[in-house]
Structure 1
Amino acid sequence: SSLPEKKMLFKGRVANKEDVNKLILTPLIRYPLLGGSALITFEKAEVAQRIIEMKEHTVELSCGDELEESDRHRIRVQAAPMEIPLPSALEITLTQSSRDILLSDLPSQGTSKEVLLDKMEIFFSKTKNGGNEVDSVKFLGDSGQVVLTFVRDGVAEPLIERGHAEVPIGKRKHRVKISPHMNGDISNLQLQPSRCPRTVMLSGIPDVLDEESMRDTLEIHFQRSSLGGGEVEALDYVPAKTRVAVFVEDMG
């Protein structure tokens, strides 16, 4: 298993000095779901555990006219715990790019992103401004910052030492901050399985109803306390093709 590439961005939050060696990660796991399965999240963990312990569930169908006579009344589905891999140890190696500079303090109003990128490329491609031929220029996500890459080595470092540049934008010059651009590579990653306490994986669901009808049927069944269920917080059903489920931190 592997984690997707992550883009990290500092947005001004600082911590106490004793917390400087801590890295807080918010998990966002994308997990493939096979056809004929469903994920159901209950409001209470004890309900999910009870459903898992029962293992097999017989679900009455409300749309029997769409089925063969022998199978028209009920289906059997299997319940199992949902386990996903989460990082238990992580090491990141940071390196400074030799050809990149990070541009910030850019005007946020009155100028389109396309115009800003053009202005940055024109200004920093000129040797009289300390620049040289530009390979690429792009915004860094939604941070409002720009990463500019030169074709040659040795151009970025003097600009970074200077720290800023007066760039003509519109009818006046704008003071743009120049910083090093750091690249982070995961050098060591250890994963361990983690069980979702309120989520259950249902499998073996035959493709006998349309997607919405099957989802409603499953939710009605598993909300019944007489059948071991309870209040359902979320449910998604995958009828045929593989899809991707997105898991975030459980704050409940």
Structure 2
Amino acid sequence: MDSEEDSFVQLPDGPESPEQLRGEIEQSKVRPGEGTDRLDPDGPESPEQLRREIEQFKELYSLLEQDCVKLQTAKEATEQRTQELRKEGKVLHKILEHQMSLNRGEERAHQMELFAAQEENTRLMKEKQVLKNKLEELKRVPQGDLVMMQSGLPEKKMVFKGLAANKDDMNKLMLTPRIRYPLPGGSALITFEKAEVAQRIIEVKEHVVKLSCWEEVEDLDQCRMQVQAAPVEILLPSALEIRLTQSSRSIIVSDLPKGDIPDYALLDKLELFFSKKKNGGSEVESREFQEDSRQVVLTFREDGVAELLIERGYIEVPILGEKYKVKISPYMNGDITNLQLQPSCCPRTVLLSGIPDVLFDESMRDTLEIHFQKASLGGGEVDALAYVPAGWTGRAVFVEDTG
């Protein structure tokens, strides 16, 4: 900061104001016609004193001008800083408005996500309640009277993939049921070689399984877990009526060559061959390789192409430099007209539930298999075991027991 001498003008000793000084000067002037004898030694100041006072006032004026310049410079600097601050304030205001807009957008997005999640949760809760009600109804129906008719099932389209052994079997359709069974987390399905072992495990209901973890530590007690055993009940078809219709755009290609030909290469060759009009085909819409029967289903975009190929019966197809005689058969669509189901219990399979998530998957499977193989605990030889850890869901597929 400037000192007081730089910031303020110090008035010299003398008159209190310029007006008083001018009055004193006027009194000191000699009027015309008057002699020096009229000067009062105690009266006005002499010219020399007046000159000194004038010089002092000049210095005072110079200081005032310097102060004025400093004040003007400070004023200009203040105005410039004020403009800069206003510009910064406008920029900060725009940034704040933009950030508030983004925050509002994010808040709306979060609200929409929350609303969608709530609607999905409500829908799932309703579906859960509906399924729970249906399950309660099934439990109240006696097992001998549990029959589900076609009116309670959605329409299903079925495809015949079997082969007739002789003429007597032409009017028969053999189906192999594949039942999908949902498995919740913390459960396992264990299948024994003998049905009586499974029955003993089910009768006990609750089993205490020892977890021999860290066996090298002698003073650590063995852990234990408690699981529940229950029978596995599924619904199997007892009566089935299907209306079969021949597709006008699809064919089944069989008698395919066996060897080192990859499935995708075989599909490419067949699609290329049957898409040409000179071979009696047309543009192929879709293709499907059936691994269980080693047959290929080809679907054309045009109607009538399949019928002409079926009439030919057999066609030679060049594949990898050789010609193979393949068979062309009709592709049959089936609509279920009547389906009756009855409950059935899997004799050799047991459902284990309430399994805690305390071991890795492989370790838990080994622990369960070792425990239920012990004859001293009522177990026996295990044929298969499937485990679903807590927090996951699984699906088991049951097929006909041929053992």
- Bin the TM-score by the shorter chain: 0.7 to 0.9
Q: Distance in 2 between matches of 1:198 and 1:250?
A: 9
Using the size of structure 2 for normalisation, the TM-score is 0.50
2:270 is the counterpart of 1:116: yes
Q: Distance in 1 between matches of 2:213 and 2:260?
A: 58
CA change 1:155–1:233 in 2 (3 A) is closer
Between Structure 1 and Structure 2, the one with more helix by share is: 2
Deviation at residue 9 of structure 1 after TM alignment: 2.7
Deviation at residue 206 of structure 1 after TM alignment: 0.6
Q: Which residue is 2:240 aligned to?
A: 90
Q: Which residue is 1:235 aligned to?
A: 385
Deviation at residue 110 of structure 1 after TM alignment: 10
* Residues matched between the structures, number: 239
Q: Which has the larger radius of gyration?
A: 2
CA change 1:223–1:13 in 2 (3 A) is same
CA change 1:121–1:110 in 2 (3 A) is farther
2:176 is the counterpart of 1:26: yes
Q: Deviations over 1:55-114 (max 9, x none)?
A: 11111221279xxxxx96211111100112211111121111223344556666898421
2:287 aligned partner, one-letter code: K
CA change 1:214–1:154 in 2 (3 A) is closer
Q: 2:331 aligns with which of 177, 181, 201?
A: 181
CA change 1:140–1:227 in 2 (3 A) is closer
Q: 1:73 aligns with which of 218, 223, 228?
A: 223
1:45 aligned partner, one-letter code: A
Q: Distance in 1 between matches of 2:222 and 2:171?
A: 60
1:56 aligned partner, one-letter code: E
Q: 2:354 aligns with which of 204, 208, 212?
A: 204
For residue 25 of structure 1, give the secondary structure of its aligned residue in structure 2. Answer: coil
For residue 52 of structure 1, give the secondary structure of its aligned residue in structure 2. Answer: helix
Q: Distance in 2 between matches of 1:205 and 1:233?
A: 20
Unpaired runs of 5+ in structure 2? 1-152, 216-220
Contact 1:64 1:73 in 2 (8 A): no
Using the size of structure 1 for normalisation, the TM-score is 0.75
Contact 1:63 1:209 in 2 (8 A): no
Q: Deviations over 1:11-70 (max 9, x none)?
A: 46337x3x65543332322222111111112222222111111111111221279xxxxx
Q: Which residue is 2:200 aligned to?
A: 50
Percent same amino acid at aligned positions? Answer: 65
Q: Distance in 1 between matches of 2:171 and 2:305?
A: 33
Between Structure 1 and Structure 2, the one with more strand by share is: 1
Deviation at residue 145 of structure 1 after TM alignment: 4.8
Q: Which residue is 1:68 aligned to?
A: none
1:48 aligned partner, one-letter code: A
Q: Distance in 2 between matches of 1:230 and 1:171?
A: 55
